[in-house]
Amino acid sequence: MAVVTFPRPLQKLIRELSKLPTVGEKTATRLAYHLVQNDPALVDTLARALHEAKEGISFCQRCFFFAEDDECTICQDHSRDRSVVCVLEKPMDLISIERMGEYKGIYHILHGLWAPLRGKGPESMKLQELVDRVKEGEISEVILATSATVEGDATALYIARTLEELGVSTTRLAQGMPKGGELEYADEVTLSKAFSGRNRLSA
Amino acid sequence: MAVVTFPRPLQKLIRELSKLPTVGEKTATRLAYHLVQNDPALVDTLARALHEAKEGISFCQRCFFFAEDDECTICQDHSRDRSVVCVLEKPMDLISIERMGEYKGIYHILHGLWAPLRGKGPESMKLQELVDRVKEGEISEVILATSATVEGDATALYIARTLEELGVSTTRLAQGMPKGGELEYADEVTLSKAFSGRNRLSA
């Protein structure tokens, strides 16, 4: 008796879906079944959205955030402070900082991190482009706002060293206790950062 | 200062992706970024796979498993026992049973469960089609193999009652301790099922 499998078009859809990050074969199968069985209209709109996203989205020539023109809306906005650049790993991080609503400078998206253990060298991020921007002379401070992870810390240090000779100030986001964080549940690294970065209270 | 958002084609892709089950806005954003930034080739193959799946897959007119023709490969296979029908919630469940390799009968896929609390009545599953198949007279046993969940149990009971008058034998998969399950960690319902379903050991 032959082994029973899904029809080939469904197998292919499952294979393609499981190439997505965080989607394993089980999830891909569930998604494919949902698309084929419950929601044939979604198949069309999703295929069209994929196509339009591929055609309609490019990256800002200056900061590498998403852009529909050559430059993104932030780089085009002349009310922003062009002397401060906030360096981020990926575009989503920019949305988080904009949501905070306090930062008025501009950005630089690396689209990657320095992660030698994963075979990602400095060329796997938009670092040379940052160096070129700093060399133009308008920038006085580079805020290294990569995540507070091992790779994020290593990348920040690597970039700080790369920019050392260029006479620009490099800063790193503070690390410590998160708002609402209980001491009992804080890990040692967070506590250590919170201790070493402690501030004097003005009484 | 205007709120910074993603370009519209990306927003649309995120919106479409987040219509998928188990995909929230965060996951959809991560998937969309992956597709747009890291893997433009996947965009094309995924869009094509979606289209082909929509066009190339239909359901077996008899058992409602996936089929590329009018009938699926199982219903076309004349070596299978047509007097036993195994009733399942969804096509993936069939693959699990075929993998076990012991079942030689045919199937009936409900594509749903009886779940009044979620507004799903008997018309939301392929029950009338099962009744029609039983009425044809070839079937002697209906194995109700819906999941051992509240909805799966309720559906099995509902179907058993519906088929009661038709002179067909209805059975339910055994419930009890899973292989390798430790008594210490078994929940009360599983234990209760294991007790009430206990078998005599032939010494």
Chain B partners within 8 Å of A54 (Cβ): 35-36, 40, 43-44
Q: What are the tokens at A170?
A: 């490099």
Phi, psi for B199 (deg, rounded to 5) = -110, 155
CA distance B191 to B189: 5
With CB atoms and an 8 Å threshold, state whether B4 touches A66: no
Chain B partners within 8 Å of A22 (Cβ): 27, 30-31
Handedness of CA A103, A108, A110, A113 (dihedral sign): negative
Question: Each residue of B98-107: pLDDT tens digit?
Answer: 888 889 999 9
Question: Each residue of A127-172: pLDDT tens digit?
Answer: 999 999 999 999 999 999 998 888 998 999 999 999 999 989 999 8
Q: Does B41 touch chain A (CB under 8 A)?
A: no
Residue A173 near residue A143, CB atoms below 8 Å: yes
Percentage of residues of chain B with pLDDT beyond 70:
96
pLDDT(A2) > 60: no
CATH 3.40.1360.10-classified regions of chain A: 78-200
3-state secondary structure of B61: coil
With CB atoms and an 8 Å threshold, state whether B73 touches A2: yes
* DSSP bridge pairs for A87: A108, A144
Residue of A nearest to B73 (CA): A4
Q: What are the tokens at A121?
A: 């060298």
CA distance A197 to B119: 55
Q: What is the pTM of this model?
A: 0.69
Q: Is B102 left (phi over 0), alpha (psi -120 to 50) or beta?
A: alpha
Question: Each residue of A16-61: pLDDT tens digit?
Answer: 999 888 889 889 988 988 888 777 788 888 888 888 888 888 899 9
Residue B83 near residue B133, CB atoms below 8 Å: no
pLDDT(A9) > 90: no
Question: Each residue of B130-189: pLDDT tens digit?
Answer: 999 999 999 999 999 998 888 998 999 999 999 999 989 999 888 888 888 887 888 888
Residue of A nearest to B77 (CA): A1
Helices (H), chain B: 8-17, 25-33, 40-56, 73-76, 91-100, 127-135, 150-163, 188-196
Question: Each residue of B10-30: pLDDT tens digit?
Answer: 888 899 999 888 889 889 988
CA distance B154 to B158: 6
Per-residue pLDDT band for A88 (boundaries 50, 70, 90) equals: very high
What SS3 string covers A92-153? Answer: HHHHHHHHHCCCCEEEEECCCCCEHHHCECHHHCCHHHHHHHHHCCCCCEEEECCCCCHHHH
Mean pLDDT of chain B: 88
CATH 1.10.8.420-classified regions of chain B: 8-56
* DSSP bridge pairs for B66: B59
Residue whose pair of structure tokens reads 């060293």 in the numeric block: A161
With CB atoms and an 8 Å threshold, state whether A10 touches B57: yes
**Mean pLDDT (whole number) for B75-88:** 95
Per-residue pLDDT band for B2 (boundaries 50, 70, 90) equals: low
How far is A154 from chain B, CA to nearest CA, in Å? 22
In this prediction, residue A106 carries a pLDDT of 96
Q: How many CB atoms lie within 10 A of CB B164?
A: 10
Question: Each residue of A92-122: pLDDT tens digit?
Answer: 889 888 888 889 999 999 999 999 888 888 8
Instruction: Quote the ipTM score.
Output: 0.71
Percentage of residues of chain B with pLDDT beyond 90:
38
Q: Which of residues 60-79 of A touch B (CB under 8 A)?
A: 66-68, 73-74, 77, 79
Q: Does A97 touch chain B (CB under 8 A)?
A: no
Residue B197 near residue B176, CB atoms below 8 Å: yes
What torsion do the CA atoms of B125, B18, B36, A65 make, to the nearest 10 degrees?
180
CA distance A183 to A177: 8
Assign domain B78-200 to its CATH architecture.
Answer: 3-Layer(aba) Sandwich (3.40)
Which residues, including other chains, have CB under 8 Å from residue A112's CB and lie 6 or more apart?
Answer: A89, A120, A124, A125, A126
CATH topology classification for A8-56: Helicase, Ruva Protein; domain 3 (1.10.8)
Residue of A nearest to B23 (CA): A31
How far is A149 from chain B, CA to nearest CA, in Å? 18
CA distance A172 to A31: 40
Q: When comparing pLDDT for A74 and B175, which is higher?
A: A74
CA distance B39 to B41: 5
How far is B37 from chain A, CA to nearest CA, in Å? 8
Q: What are the tokens at A95?
A: 């949305």
pLDDT(A202) > 70: no
Handedness of CA B132, B133, B136, B141 (dihedral sign): negative
Residue A33 near residue B22, CB atoms below 8 Å: no
